[in-house]
C-alpha cells in the first residue's frame, strides 16, 4: 500500500507527529473487523485539523493515514506494555477503548499478520521520524519532537473519572529537559483548563524511543481531552453520535493555546 505516509518538511526545529488521526483500513484487513465504524471509533478525531496552523510556523508534520486499529505506531513494536498494570491497547488492538471486540470471530491477527503490519507501517513511520530528526539536527543545535493526540474525556476502562483537558507526557521528565516539560504544562495550566504533567498518559513509544535529551532531541506528548476542542457528549458513544463534526470556531480557544505551546517549543529549540 502506498500513499499512507505524509511528511511535510519545515525549516524550523520542531517535528509534529500524528500517529492516530488515520482512518484507512487496508483491503486485506478491512473485512476482518466487526465494522469499519467500530474500527475507526478510537481515532484521534480532527487533531490534524486542530494543528493545521503548525505548518505556517515552520514545523515538520508527519502523518499516517492508517487506522490505529490496524497497527498502533505509538506502541512498543515488541508488544511490551507501556503502562504495566493498567489497561491499555496493544500494538494491534483486539478491542476498542471500551472493551468491545474489534474483529469478527476467527479473524484476529496472528503473529505473522502482526509482523507484516509492523514491517509495512510501524517501521517506515519511525524511519521517517528518524530521517527528519537527522535532517533538522544537521541545521539546529536542538530539535523538539511533539506527539499530538486526543482521547474521549471519560473512558472507565482506561482511567477513573474525567481526564484533564491537557495531559503533557515526558515519561517522568526523561524524554526532554525537565524545565521544558514544566513550561509546556504551565502554559496549559494558565488557560484555566485542568492540566497535568505525566499523569495517566506520560508518553508512548514515539517520545520514549526518540526522545534523547542528552543528544539534544527533546520529545513531548500532548494528549488532549476531546471536550477541550469538540462538542463532546461525555460518556459512552456509538456510531450515531461519534465523531462530532469539527467546528473551527468552537476549537478556536484551544487553537490559541496550542499556538502558545508550539511557540514555546520553538523558543526552547532555537535558544541554545
Q: Does the pLDDT value for residue 84 go beyond 80?
A: no
C-alpha grid cell, residue 31: 473485512
Least confident of 79-93, 167-181, 192-206, 221-235: 79-93
Domain span holding position 70: 5-270
User: Exposed (0-12), middle (13-18) or buried (19+): which is 110, by Cβ within 10 Å?
Assistant: exposed
Q: What's the pLDDT band for 272 if we cut at 50, 70, 90? A: low
Please state the rounded mean pLDDT for residues 230-254: 95
Least confident of 63-77, 78-92, 236-250: 78-92
Q: Does the pLDDT value for residue 98 go beyond 70?
A: yes
Residue 82 is predicted with a pLDDT of 76
Q: What's the pLDDT band for 81 if we cut at 50, 70, 90? A: confident
Report the predicted TM-score, pTM, of the whole model to 2 decimal places.
0.96
Tell me the pLDDT tens digit for each residue of 124-147: 999 999 999 999 999 999 999 999
Q: What's the pLDDT band for 87 if we cut at 50, 70, 90? A: low
CATH code assigned at 139: 3.40.630.40
Tell me the pLDDT tens digit for each residue of 170-210: 999 999 999 999 999 999 999 999 999 999 999 999 999 99
First to last CA, the chain: 41
Please state the rounded mean pLDDT for residues 96-112: 96
Query: Structurally, how many domains does the chain consist of?
Result: 1
Tell me the pLDDT tens digit for each residue of 57-68: 999 999 999 999
Amino acid at each position: 500500500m502506498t500513499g499512507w505516509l505524509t511528511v511535510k518538511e519545515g525549516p524550523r526545529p520542531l517535528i509534529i507527529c500524528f500517529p492516530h488521526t488515520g482512518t484507512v483500513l487496508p483491503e486485506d484487513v478491512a473485512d476482518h473487523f466487526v465494522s469499519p465504524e467500530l474500527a475507526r471509533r478510537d481515532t484521534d478525531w480532527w487533531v490534524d485539523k486542530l494543528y493545521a496552523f503548525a505548518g505556517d510556523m515552520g514545523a515538520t508534520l508527519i502523518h499516517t493515514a492508517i487506522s490505529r486499529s490496524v497497527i498502533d505506531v505509538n506502541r512498543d513494536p515488541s508488544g511490551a506494555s507501556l503502562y504495566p498494570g493498567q489497561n491499555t491497547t496493544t500494538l494491534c488492538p483486539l478491542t476498542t477503548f471500551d472493551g468491545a471486540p474489534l474483529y469478527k470471530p476467527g479473524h484476529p491477527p496472528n503473529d505473522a499478520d502482526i509482523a507484516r503490519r509492523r514491517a509495512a507501517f510501524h517501521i517506515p513511520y519511525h524511519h521517517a521520524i528518524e530521517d527528519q530528526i537527522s535532517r533538522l539536527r544537521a541545521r539546529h543545535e536542538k530539535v523538539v519532537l511533539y506527539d499530538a493526540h486526543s482521547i474521549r474525556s471519560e473512558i472507565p476502562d482506561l482511567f477513573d473519572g474525567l481526564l484533564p483537558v491537557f495531559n503533557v507526557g515526558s515519561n517522568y521528565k526523561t524524554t526532554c529537559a525537565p524545565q521544558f516539560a514544566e513550561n509546556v504544562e504551565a502554559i496549559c495550566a494558565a488557560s484555566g483548563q485542568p492540566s497535568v504533567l505525566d499523569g495517566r498518559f506520560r508518553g508512548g513509544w514515539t517520545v520514549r524511543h526518540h526522545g534523547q535529551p542528552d543528544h539534544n532531541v527533546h520529545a513531548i506528548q500532548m494528549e488532549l481531552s476531546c471536550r477541550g476542542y469538540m462538542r463532546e457528549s461525555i460518556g459512552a458513544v456509538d456510531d450515531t453520535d461519534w465523531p462530532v463534526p469539527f467546528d473551527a470556531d468552537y476549537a478556536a480557544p484551544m487553537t490559541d493555546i496550542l499556538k502558545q505551546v508550539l511557540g514555546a517549543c520553538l523558543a526552547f529549540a532555537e535558544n541554545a
